Structure 1
Amino acid sequence: MSYRSQLRAGSFTAKVALVTGGGSGIGRCCAHELASLGAHVVLLGRDAAKLERVSAEIRQDGGIVDAVACDIRDEEAVRQSIAQIVERHGRIDLLVNNAGGQFPAPLEHISAKGWQAVLNTNLMGGFLVARECYTQSMKPRRTGAIVNIIADMWNGMPGMGHSGAARAGMLNFTETAAAEWGPVRVNAVAPGWIASSGMDTYPDAIKPMIRNLPKHVPLGRIGNEAEVSAAITFLLSDGAAFINGTCLRVDGGAPNARRHYALEPTEPSPAFDGFHRAVTPDIFKN
């Protein structure tokens, strides 16, 4: 089997695409799709073992890939890693700024250290990677496309206020960079509730709530990684050549649901299952 992308074959032939957080979840899926469309994919993340596992998958599927281990919160490490990639490949054409992480907690229980850790990963790290890709490769060549992955943080993010603040900051950074960095295009994708490996990392106490999420989505289900990747790859593609500074929501309309309007029980909408190596999170297997 191979990746079933909605973009035409060869859409990213000869492009160098950097995917942060490519060792799991949405980053892994998007790396597979980009490679299937002809891109030379470079995975970047902290866990070298995870990166190598995904690299092996992509090679088995006939794609071209290599990986660089880097903590995106370390400014000098990011600078050196991007320089290494540019030296090895000559340029970076595309950036999927996906790496991130958070933990569930009410605001009153988040320490300064915990707050800063989430902002460093989801805001500072994303900024550093984007800045270095822009200054070291995209600005000199006056071309490139960046997609920053944020989250459904509209109207606040109760239970994960640190992540909501960071993601909102990343959206504003996206809009600012779109103005300052043209003709390089900078956009964002905001996934809603997506079935990915990250859901298995949450405490058992909130897993019943996660299983109940489809009831709050107008489309009657949660999304999958391929549906997010489809939005990312579109924004990176030539078809999005005049799209800049926008955010594409991939959330089934969940933020549009309102407390005063009860959603009628409905059959789930058909899903796009393009990722041939997708793995259902354990939380949804039973």
Structure 2
Amino acid sequence: MDAAPTSKSDGGSFRSVFRDGLFAGQVMIVTGGGSGIGRCTAHELCHLGARLALIGRKKEKLDAVAAELRADNARADVDVFACDIREEEAVRAAVAAIVKRFGRIDGLVNNAGGQFPAPLSQISQKGWDAVVRNNLTGGFLMARECYTQWMADHGGAIVNIVADMWGGMPNMGHSGAARAGMVNFTETAAVEWAPSGVRVNAVAPGWIASSGIDTYPDWMTPVIRGMKREVPLQRLGTESEVSAAIVFLLSPAAAFITGDCLRVDGAVPNARRNYELPKHDRSQPWNGFHRATTPNVLREE
């Protein structure tokens, strides 16, 4: 069965598995907060009492999510900061503005990123650099500025969103290299920043029924629709399942977890060519996001 969400809701409340008020008074930054996993995570963190700073390149998308958050929660304290995370000075200024606006930074969800499908032989240096700057350099800059401007003296938690890149990423080699680099950065930062009380972890989503899959070209449509057959759980994941992993790593329950990478992928990297995956519908998805929608590419099956 598919894990794709159903219809959109114009209000209501996120159904989180975590206790109410978990992040009351805490300030969380979510990059790439204008869509997909970032949007879902912002909703869950807000539901749990966090004050939110949303970062992205397109202010109108951030404003739309902020409006949703305020519509769903009268107590929502959210602000938006348009910023290209690939630009060092822009990142430095955005983090400074967040500290000025909220007075603290407790957590960073390093979610912003992007890529395009292409074989390695057809990726130009410009295309390679753009993806690596998006998925590696930008995450480094955000983490470094949050650390130097606040967390070094006060502690905090950072969750870097990477990807299911184990065993290579054919047709996404630029992204795979960048994501692997971010995992290594996560492991290094966890050691260097531990004396400041800063935990650094990563979450690696697999194939998720998120709005991002609607951005790929038409030739990817049959590939996307057939992906669930390559997953041992025989479905795609939901945005809520990724958000729950992020929230866990930000929470006190993960106080002794740092330098780790939590896969949310239905065991795809563990599947082997010599083992035929049985078809089944036994895996029940978790979808607590009341505003989730089914990606268009999955609606026409």
TM range (shorter): over 0.9
Alignment partners' CA distance in 2, 1:252 and 1:264: 14
In structure 2, the residue matched to 1:147 is: 159
1:138 and 2:151 matched: yes
* 2:54 aligned residue: 43
Superposed, which structure 2 residues align to 1:82-93 within 5 Å?
A: 82-93=95-106
How much has 1:64 moved relative to structure 2? 2.0
CA distance in 2: counterparts of 1:2 and 1:48, whole angstroms: 24
Shift of 1:68: 0.3
Quote the Cα distance in structure 2 between the aligned partners of 1:249 and 1:172.
15
Which residue of 1 is the match for residue 38 of structure 2?
Answer: 27
CA offsets per residue over residues 29-76 of structure 1, 9 Å max, x none?
000000000000110000000000000000001122111000000100
Q: 2:276 aligns with which of 241, 262, 266?
A: 262
2:87 matched residue in structure 1:
74
| Superposed displacement of residue 86, structure 1 | 0.4
Q: Is the 8 A contact 1:214 1:222 kept in 2?
A: yes
Q: Which residue of 2 aligns with 1:285?
A: 299
* Structure-1 separation of matches of 2:241 and 2:282: 15
> Contact 1:97–1:130 (CA<8 Å) still a contact in 2?
yes
3-state SS of 2:40 partner: helix
Query: CA contact under 8 A between 1:72 and 1:126: conserved in structure 2?
Result: yes
Mapped to 2, the partners of 1:196 and 1:171 lie a distance apart of 22
- The aligned runs of 1:1-286 (5 Å cut-off) are 1-62=12-73, 63-141=76-154, 143-182=155-194, 183-286=197-300
SS of the counterpart of 2:130? helix
Mapped contact 1:18–1:43 kept (Cα < 8 A)? yes
Query: Could you tell me which amino acid in structure 2 is paired with residue 37 of structure 1?
Result: L
For normalisation by structure 1, the TM-score amounts to: 0.99
Distance 1:273 1:207 in 2: 23
* Greater relative contact order structure (CA < 8 Å, 6+ sep): 2
Q: Quote the Cα distance in structure 1 between the aligned partners of 2:282 and 2:244.
A: 19
Count of matched residue positions in the alignment of Structure 1 and Structure 2: 285
Q: CA deviation at 1:283?
A: 0.7
Identity of aligned residues (%): 66
CA distance in 1: counterparts of 2:243 and 2:291, whole angstroms: 13
Instruction: Give 3-state SS (helix, strand or coil) of 1:72's partner.
Output: coil
The runs of 5 or more residues in structure 2 that have no matched partner are 1-11
Q: Write the letter of the residue equivalent to 2:54.
A: L
Bigger drift between 264-273 and 26-35 goes to 264-273
SS in 2 for 1:223: coil
Q: Structure 1: which amino acid aligns with 2:125?
A: A
In structure 1, C-alpha distance between the alignment counterparts of 2:36 and 2:281, rounded to whole Å: 26
For residues 101-142 of structure 1, give each alpha carbon's deviation from its aligned partner in whole angstroms, at most 9, with x where no partner exists.
Answer: 00000000000000000000000000000000000010021x
- SS of the residue corresponding to residue 100 of structure 2 reads helix
Structure 2 SS opposite 1:195: coil
Deviation at 1:194, TM superposition (A): 0.2
Contact 1:19 1:42 (C-alpha < 8 Å) held by counterparts: yes
SS at match of 2:49: coil
One-letter code of the match for 1:33? E
CA contact (8 A) 1:221 1:268 kept: no
**For the aligned residues, what is the CA RMSD?**
0.6
Q: Which runs of 4+ in 1 moved over 3 A?
A: none
Residue 9 of structure 2: aligned partner: none
Cα separation, 2, equivalents of 1:24 and 1:213: 22
Tell me, what secondary structure is at the counterpart of 1:146? strand
Distance 1:8 1:260 in 2: 43
